[in-house]
Amino acid sequence: MKLRQREPRQKDEKRLAWLRTQPCVICGAINTEAAHIRVGSINHGKRPTGMQEKPSDKWTVSLCNAHHREQHAQGDELKWWASKGMDPFMTAIRQDPLK
């Protein structure tokens, strides 16, 4: 039996720094954090990540501290994003500073 090797995390400090200068995608607040999307999506090529693992920096969005904490407290990440009427994967893709 051959075990599949985990994909290494892709780090992008420039993206994270840029995201922290952007407004919160939920409320528009200006003091934001780069929030990683942990849940996976086959349609977007994003695999899920466990609690011991951080997703690649490609899968981040700008959230204010309050919304970042609220999202973690919810527990169900997709349900939280749906309650905001947003697709986190498309939000991360649209927040690419190179586009």
Q: Which domain holds residue 33?
A: 13-94
What is the number of structural domains in the chain? 1
Residue 4 covered by a domain: no
Residue 1 covered by a domain: no
Residue 6 covered by a domain: no
With tokens 């990540």, the residue in question is 49
Residue 76 covered by a domain: yes
Give me the pLDDT at residue 65, please. Answer: 95
Residue 99 covered by a domain: no
As a 3-state breakdown, the chain gives helix, strand, coil percent values, each rounded to 5, of 35, 10, 55
Give me the pLDDT at residue 75, please. Answer: 82
Residue 7 covered by a domain: no
Residue 58 covered by a domain: yes
Give me the pLDDT at residue 86, please. Answer: 95
Q: Each residue's pLDDT tens digit in the chain (99 positions)?
A: 554 545 667 888 999 999 999 999 999 999 999 998 887 666 766 666 766 667 788 889 999 999 999 998 988 889 999 999 999 989 998 887 766
Pairing of strands 60-64, 32-36: antiparallel
Give me the pLDDT at residue 5, please. Answer: 46
